[in-house]
């Protein structure tokens, strides 16, 4: 029998606000344990939470970008559970009335695009960290993360392959960075993903029993885990083994999903509205003003690059990978008005360079003026693009303060189409190779290539091969 894979995601997104969700403690990462913990983070009796307006605004902005309906009337609920890194004994979250409802995110897999439906996005707070590997007999608690504002985005069970899961996470990550809502860095835990996976007979409209793989911290692991889990479920079904809803963990070393605990029902959490936090009404004027402040979204930018600047779709994909890339493209292209040249440069030279140096564009220490001058040499046919990338660019990287034009002159890379210069080279190559001249005269026309190569070598790449041909043939025929 053939099976369909069905996946729904629950993605936790740490917001990049300055302070925590319900108190003034600064957000921190990798700092000394328990240095950002006020009495509120510690849940001392009598302390009261205060809503962070930035959390609400960032939630609305994400909702607007995903075409969600923004809930006008919002309140927070308490979700109770016991955990050593949750001092209050409950998490502040939103249960029945999430801030964003519906919406979709478009992804593209193998050239086919698909709108993945979103169920809702709600606001909540992160717990602290329990650390088990720093002491031989004790577990340690760090509350720096406790109270970090989170959004939880829940999709419909709308994804149908591990590749779609990978693409969804990648697209969401990109969007979050564009609209400055989160750094979405999964390695740091700023974004974590639970994958709900089930399988069903191909084409069936009834969903199968699902398992939930918790807390995946990379796109690749999410992809691997979904693939493994779907296979595992199919095998069980084929062998007549029934299974019930389970919470799983993905073991990245063994590349296997493993049982974590039986899944709790919602009733265990005893949700109720948090009486310490007043309801929040979001006006349509406020939503409109956030809409106006919204930066250009990655897919809008991509369409612009393809339609207005005539770039290939795959190139536009690379340039919209990171807001920095697109900005850089526009800065250079504004001066050069040569989208293809600028795009080729960014994709084939700049990105490999910054990735091998492990830096970002702003750390390159080569100014836009220098890059414009460098590209202008290619645009004006003063240097061939292959010589530029093989010789001038590496030289510029070693001499970051120098002018590309001066460097090109010193290295004798400037194309010299001066007639006398070209003629001298042709004459000397002809007189040095009488055997090949004789071959040519006997009718072996493809020795032309040999002569062009020899002339180019003599010129050290400093002439344009296209200008040689006619002069060369003329000289050979004499």
Q: Would you tell me which residues interact with ligand ADP (CB under 6 A)?
A: 6-10, 154-157, 196-198, 207-208, 210, 266
What burial class does residue 101 get, using C-beta atoms within 10 Å of its C-beta: 0-12 exposed, 13-18 middle, 19+ buried?
middle
CB 48 within 8 A of CB 81: no
CB of 153 to ligand ADP, least distance (A): 9
Which residue, 52 or 198, has its beta carbon nearer to ligand ADP?
198
User: What does the alpha-carbon distance between residue 194 and residue 298 come to, in Å, rounded to a whole number?
Assistant: 25
Which residue, 269 or 450, has its beta carbon nearer to ligand ADP?
269
Q: Which run of H or of E encompasses 407? A: helix 404-410
Instruction: Write the CA distances from 225 to 9, 155, 170, 230, integer angstroms.
Output: 13, 18, 16, 9
Provide the 3-class DSSP secondary structure of residue 413.
coil
The residue number with the shortest CB distance to ligand ADP is 8
Which residue, 147 or 208, has its beta carbon nearer to ligand ADP?
208
User: What does the alpha-carbon distance between residue 118 and residue 255 come to, in Å, rounded to a whole number?
Assistant: 29
Encoded tokens for 428: 């000397």
CB of 199 to ligand ADP, least distance (A): 8
Encoded tokens for 68: 């969600």
User: What does the alpha-carbon distance between residue 397 and residue 317 come to, in Å, rounded to a whole number?
Assistant: 26
CB of 214 to ligand ADP, least distance (A): 11
Which residue, 153 or 392, has its beta carbon nearer to ligand ADP?
153
CB of 277 to ligand ADP, least distance (A): 22
State how beta strands 191-201 and 129-131 pair. unpaired
Q: Taking Cα atoms as reference points, which of 86, 78, 85, 66 lies closest to residue 13?
A: 66
Phi, psi of 181 (to 5 degrees): -100, -30
CB 56 within 8 A of CB 99: yes
Q: Taking Cα atoms as reference points, which of 262, 208, 267 lies closest to residue 238?
A: 208
CB of 154 to ligand ADP, least distance (A): 5
Which residue, 196 or 320, has its beta carbon nearer to ligand ADP?
196
Count the neighbouring beta carbons within 10 Å of the beta carbon of residue 384: 19
Which residue, 235 or 288, has its beta carbon nearer to ligand ADP?
235
Which residue, 62 or 377, has its beta carbon nearer to ligand ADP?
62
CB of 120 to ligand ADP, least distance (A): 9
Distance, C-alpha 127 to centroid of its chain: 26
Q: Taking Cα atoms as reference points, which of 476, 475, 455, 477 lies closest to residue 465?
A: 455
Q: Which run of H or of E encompasses 191? A: strand 191-201
CB of 230 to ligand ADP, least distance (A): 10
Q: Which run of H or of E encompasses 318? A: helix 313-319
What burial class does residue 78 get, using C-beta atoms within 10 Å of its C-beta: 0-12 exposed, 13-18 middle, 19+ buried?
buried
Which residue, 243 or 421, has its beta carbon nearer to ligand ADP?
243
Provide the 3-class DSSP secondary structure of residue 418.
coil
CB of 174 to ligand ADP, least distance (A): 20
Which residue, 268 or 474, has its beta carbon nearer to ligand ADP?
268
Which residue, 6 or 27, has its beta carbon nearer to ligand ADP?
6
Which residue, 155 or 436, has its beta carbon nearer to ligand ADP?
155
CB of 401 to ligand ADP, least distance (A): 53
CB of 155 to ligand ADP, least distance (A): 5
Encoded tokens for 157: 């069970």
Which residue, 228 or 328, has its beta carbon nearer to ligand ADP?
228
Non-local CB neighbours of 198 within 8 Å, separated by 6+ positions: 5, 6, 157, 207, 208, 209, 210, 211, 233
User: What does the alpha-carbon distance between residue 76 and residue 276 come to, in Å, rounded to a whole number?
Assistant: 9
CB of 151 to ligand ADP, least distance (A): 14
CB of 215 to ligand ADP, least distance (A): 14
State how beta strands 246-251 and 211-216 pair. parallel
């Amino acid at each position: 029998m053939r099976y369909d894979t069905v996946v729904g995601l629950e993605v936790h997104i740490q917001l990049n606000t300055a302070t925590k969700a319900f108190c003034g403690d600064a957000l921190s990462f990798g700092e000394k344990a328990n240095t950002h913990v006020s009495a509120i983070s510690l849940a001392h009796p009598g302390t009261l939470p205060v809503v962070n307006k930035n959390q609400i605004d960032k939630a609305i902005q994400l909702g607007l970008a995903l075409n969600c309906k923004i809930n006008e009337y919002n309140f927070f609920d308490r979700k109770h559970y016991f955990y050593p890194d949750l001092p209050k004994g409950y998490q502040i979250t939103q249960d029945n009335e999430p801030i964003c409802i519906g919406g979709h995110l478009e992804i593209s897999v193998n050239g086919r695009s698909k709108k993945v439906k979103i169920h809702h996005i709600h606001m909540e707070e992160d717990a602290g960290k329990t650390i088990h590997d720093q002491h031989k007999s004790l577990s340690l608690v760090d509350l720096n993360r406790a109270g970090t504002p989170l959004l939880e985005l829940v999709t419909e069970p709308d994804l149908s392959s591990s590749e779609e899961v990978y693409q969804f996470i990648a697209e969401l990550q990109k969007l979050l960075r564009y609209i400055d809502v989160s750094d979405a860095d999964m390695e740091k835990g700023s974004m974590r993903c639970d994958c709900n996976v089930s399988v069903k007979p191909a084409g069936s409209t009834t969903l199968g029993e699902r398992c939930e793989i918790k807390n995946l911290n990379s796109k690749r692991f999410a992809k691997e885990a979904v693939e493994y889990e779907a296979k595992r479920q199919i095998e069980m079904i084929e062998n007549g083994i029934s299974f019930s809803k389970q919470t799983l963990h993905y073991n990245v070393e063994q590349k296997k999903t493993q049982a974590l605990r039986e899944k709790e029902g919602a009733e265990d959490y005893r949700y109720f509205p948090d009486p310490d936090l007043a309801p929040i009404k979001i006006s349509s004027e406020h939503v409109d003003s956030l809409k106006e402040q919204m930066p250009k979204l990655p897919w809008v930018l991509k369409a612009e690059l393809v339609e207005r600047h005539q770039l290939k779709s795959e190139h536009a994909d690379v340039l919209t990978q990171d807001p920095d890339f697109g900005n850089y493209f526009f800065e250079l292209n504004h001066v050069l008005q040569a989208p293809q040249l600028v795009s080729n440069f960014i994709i084939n030279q700049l990105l490999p360079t910054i990735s091998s140096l492990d830096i970002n564009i702003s750390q390159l220490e080569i100014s836009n003026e220098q890059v414009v001058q460098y590209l202008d040499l290619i645009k004006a046919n003063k240097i061939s693009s292959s010589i530029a990338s093989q010789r001038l660019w590496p030289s510029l990287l070693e001499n970051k303060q120098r002018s590309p034009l001066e460097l090109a002159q010193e290295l004798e890379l400037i194309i010299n189409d001066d007639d006398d210069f070209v003629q001298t080279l042709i004459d000397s190559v002809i007189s040095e190779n009488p055997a090949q001249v004789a071959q040519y005269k006997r009718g072996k026309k493809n020795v032309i290539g040999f002569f062009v190569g020899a002339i180019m070598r003599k010129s050290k790449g400093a002439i344009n091969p296209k200008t040689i041909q006619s002069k060369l043939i003329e000289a050979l025929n004499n």
